[in-house]
Amino acid sequence: MPDVPQCISFDVGGTLIEPWPSVGAVYADAARCLGIQADGAELNQRFAASWIDARKKPGGFDYSRSAWKELVRSTFGEALPPALLEGVFESIWHRFERPDVWKVHSDVLPTLELLRTRCIRLTVLSNWDERLRPLLYRLGLADFFEDIVVSGEVGRHKPDPALFEYAVHRWAVDASSILHVGDSEREDLQGPIAVGWRSVLIDRTGSKRTNSIVQLDDLIRWIG
């Protein structure tokens, strides 16, 4: 990369943190607390399929409570009686506000600490809802970032160019001086590049895709 970026923006889910021990495990535990027996591994598979389907719908996934509720309903399917949907959904919604159901990747804090010493502006640009900002505080991550842009609060979601343009205006920085880091090729690689940002994909599977790093601390060497 020819120039050190003035600003690095980070996606959150899959980049900085992951559900712990898994989405399916959290769903299953919430259901069991309400008397519904569910298998976490099966729910994890069903969630993955429902998540893909939800994002393919016209307009995509809008990160609203109603969208998340539909995702919960779809994940459980017939195993969840309609009369119990509201209770299970509310339990799951609030569980994902808690830091104990999230894992911060081990390479995150050292990388953020080092980047901060280099006087690079650090921000967040993530597809999420109103729970993200308080969650980042509870996880001890929020203070690393001068700004946190949440798609659900803006009403636009990556890779919509309007969300990136909103961030550029908010941060008052030239688009070409921003480097975005995320784990989705469509949202975090192609999306930013289309509006003149630079971007790098974090691919923890190590599949060696173009413009990718395997660990977040590889970012230090990548930017030079």
pLDDT digits (tens, 9 = 90+) for 7-22: 999 999 999 999 999 9
| DSSP annotation of 78 | G
Question: pLDDT at position 57, please?
Answer: 87
Summary mean pLDDT of the chain: 95
- The pLDDT tens digits for 129-158 are 999 999 999 999 999 999 999 999 999 999
Question: pLDDT at position 142, please?
Answer: 98
- The pLDDT tens digits for 172-210 are 999 999 999 999 999 999 999 999 999 999 999 887 677
* Average of per-residue pLDDT across 61-88: 96
* DSSP 3-state of 10: strand
What is the largest distance, in Å, between two alpha-carbon atoms of the chain? 58
Which position has the token pair 């976490």?
40
* Average of per-residue pLDDT across 62-66: 96
Q: Against a cut of 0.85, is the pTM above it?
A: yes
Q: Are 179 and 9 in contact (CB under 8 A)?
A: yes
Domain boundaries, the chain: 7-16+105-223, 20-100
In CATH terms, the fold of domain 7-16+105-223 is Rossmann fold (3.40.50)
Question: pLDDT at position 205, please?
Answer: 86
Q: Render the burial of 203-220: b for 16+ CB within 10 Å, e for the rest.
A: bbeeeeeeebbeebbebe
Joined tokens for residue 207: 């599949």
- Residues paired with 124 in a beta bridge: 10, 148
* Average of per-residue pLDDT across 91-114: 97
Q: Are 158 and 191 in contact (CB under 8 A)?
A: yes
Question: pLDDT at position 116, please?
Answer: 92
* Average of per-residue pLDDT across 51-74: 94
Q: Are 27 and 47 in contact (CB under 8 A)?
A: yes
Cα distance from N-terminal residue to C-terminal residue, the chain: 7
Q: Are 174 and 2 in contact (CB under 8 A)?
A: no
Strands 212-213 and 198-202: parallel
Q: From CA 69, how far away is CA 92, in angstroms rounded?
A: 9
Q: Is 118 exposed, middle or buried (0-12, 13-18, 19+ CB in 10 A)?
A: exposed
| pLDDT over 70 percentage in the chain | 99
Q: Do domains 7-16+105-223 and 20-100 have the same CATH topology?
A: no
| pLDDT over 90 percentage in the chain | 89
In CATH terms, the fold of domain 20-100 is DNA polymerase; domain 1 (1.10.150)
* Average of per-residue pLDDT across 119-135: 97
Residue 27, amino acid: Y
* Average of per-residue pLDDT across 113-125: 95
Q: Render the burial of 72-83: b for 16+ CB within 10 Å, e for the rest.
A: bebbbeeebeee
Question: pLDDT at position 1, please?
Answer: 44
